Chain A
Amino acid sequence: MILQVEDVTKTFGGLVALSDVTFQVEEGEILGIIGPNGAGKTTLFNAISGVFKIDKGKVTFKGKEITRLPPNQRARLGIARTHQIVKPLNDLTVVENVMVGACFGQGNASLAEARDKAMEVLEFVGLQEKWEVLAGKLNVPEKKRLEMARALASDPHLILLDEVLAGLNPMEVSSMLEVIKAIREKGITILMIEHLMHAIMNVSDRVMALVYGRKVSEGPPQEVANNPQVVEAYLGDPDLALKLFKDKRRRG
């Protein structure tokens, strides 16, 4: 087990964003996180990467408690992440962006090593031709790849992917899924948030569903998808939803 999250609670004023969330991630697996908007998925990522302090609970990474570590130290330990709203370093070139990840992340590379590493990773995510371009000039799918490349360049043990597929067209989605699978091949553990159901069901080993900051289901993708609470969270009343679904099938 690489990551253990125990009883994590986070409130913003009166809003309970995460409530006693407990789960574990095994080394080498892909754990998908689903849930409707506002369910606390990104908040969970922020709690793991250390963007803010949690109110209660404990986060353990590779047997070491990291609950109180600042984000840069967590990155050093091998937790990398991408952002749902991309955060490119606009006035630096693409390769420099990736070098930042390689230099300051788990890999702790020197500048020269970082450069080689960056070119290698850029090729891996298919951005090698843009290496000299300023990051601010990339389009959205390219920026998503850049986020991914930066995270990967740090040689992480665990990577948190926050909606890397959102806003991509079907072609781009399938090529991004290839990249994700290839990341797993490298032995990196993946925790991913995704709204695209078919994609996450297809690629994840296990899926966890969050609803209103609570974990409502966890297990094999199909099982979670059929969980009545999950269905209700997405579609309202499950019986009604099932009826509509069947109607549609008959017609379609």
Chain B
Amino acid sequence: MGKGKTLFWLIPLLLVIVAIPGVSGSVTAREGVFLILMYVTLAVSLNIILGYTGYVSFGHIVFYGIGGYVAFYLMIFHGVHLIPAMIAGGIGAALAAFALGEAVLRLRGAFFAIATIGVNEAVKALVNNLNFIGGAEGLFFNFSIYKTYGGAARAIWFSYYTMATVTVVTIVAAYLIKKSKFGLGLMAIREDEDAAIILGVNAKRYKSLAYAASAFFPGMVGAVFFFKAGNIEPHDAFHLMKSIEMIFMVMLGGYGNVTGAVTGALVYERLKGFLLVNPLFKNLHMAISGVILLLIVLFMPQGIIGFIRDKSKKLRELLE
């Protein structure tokens, strides 16, 4: 195993991308990069349970929604600052995942994937009916909240840099997990859970912890995203389509691999942007994404980065 060579180019590259809108002051560029950062964070964190551990969490967006709601609630009713509210959102999502994991992670393969969709839909239905957090209409900020951050315009820049920080933390954390004893245990579970248990891996606990870790970061992303949006409603927070997009990004880039998830997110964002503005494809972008996913699974199951890693031994340590 290498000594963290991947992070030495990946993190600087990311920082350069983050700096572009900051230097130019372009709002359009900022919105684009914000979206990229969000996708990267979601993909890299989903990768912990999907790529490292081999469990397809189909309804993973539920943790983004939970984090969003927890943070929003704290900010709106208790006047909590974005940063602590975001961390609380992450912790809320992670705790929910851990509890769920203890129950749902007994299921393997397709059964687990279907159960996670059920969880997402159940939480959405629940939130729809909880009046203290706005029910189906959701919650929205009074603009005075942004005053703490020096006005709405500055608040949005603040949320942008917060998101960038979350992204960097997520990538570093995901990489360190992969390179740890814990990560080795997870990969053993992915390859053959029964063999892993016989070798002494506490699969039950490891899976729940991996699930919690992969929920923590989406919880924070949800908090920042909805802070920036200024409102949150169940339909946006628990949108199953976003779940599918997350899986798509991980599979596209190469699962089990930090660089892969990042690449997948970048490529997907570009692809989606291209398809959405193209009059020919604009209503078909999910369909086209679906076809691409099918082709990847059939012909390049290890994804873009996995494919390159297979071809070149030299690049292997740089693409982990």
Contact = CB atoms under 8 A, between A and B. Distances in A.
Given A96-B184, A111-B181, A111-B184, A104 B191 contact: no
Interface in B158-209: 179-181, 184-185, 187-188, 190-192, 194-203
Nearest to B183: A111
A103 B43 CA distance: 28
B302 to A, nearest CB: 9
Interface residues of A, number: 29
B198 A100 contact: no
Contact of A103 (B185, B190, B192, B198): B185
A70 interface: yes
A155 B179 CA distance: 23
A111 B181 CA distance: 6
A75 B198 CA distance: 6
A77 to B, nearest CB: 9
A104 B199 CA distance: 6
Does more than half of chain B's interface fall in helix, strand or loop, or is it mixed? helix
A71 B197 CA distance: 6
B177 to A, nearest CB: 12
Interface centre among B190, B196, B200 (most CB of A within 10 A): B200
Interface in A53-91: 70-72, 75-76, 80-81, 83, 87-91
Contacts of A90: 191-192
Contacts of B190: 91
A98 to B, nearest CB: 10
A157 interface: no
A105 B195 contact: no
Nearest to B194: A87
A99 interface: yes
27 contacts: A49-B198, A71-B198, A72-B200, A72-B203, A75-B199, A75-B200, A81-B198, A83-B195, A87-B195, A89-B188, A89-B196, A90-B192, A91-B190, A91-B191, A96-B184, A100-B185, A100-B199, A100-B201, A101-B199, A101-B200, A103-B200, A104-B188, A104-B196, A104-B199, A104-B202, A114-B181, A154-B200
Interface of B: 179-181, 184-185, 187-188, 190-192, 194-203, 256
Given A76-B200, A106-B200, 15 more contacts: A49-B198, A51-B194, A72-B201, A75-B198, A83-B195, A87-B194, A88-B195, A89-B188, A89-B191, A90-B191, A91-B256, A104-B196, A110-B181, A111-B184, A114-B181
The 9 lowest CB-CB distance pairs between A and B, nearest first, are: A75-B200, A104-B200, A89-B191, A87-B195, A105-B200, A100-B188, A104-B201, A71-B197, A72-B202
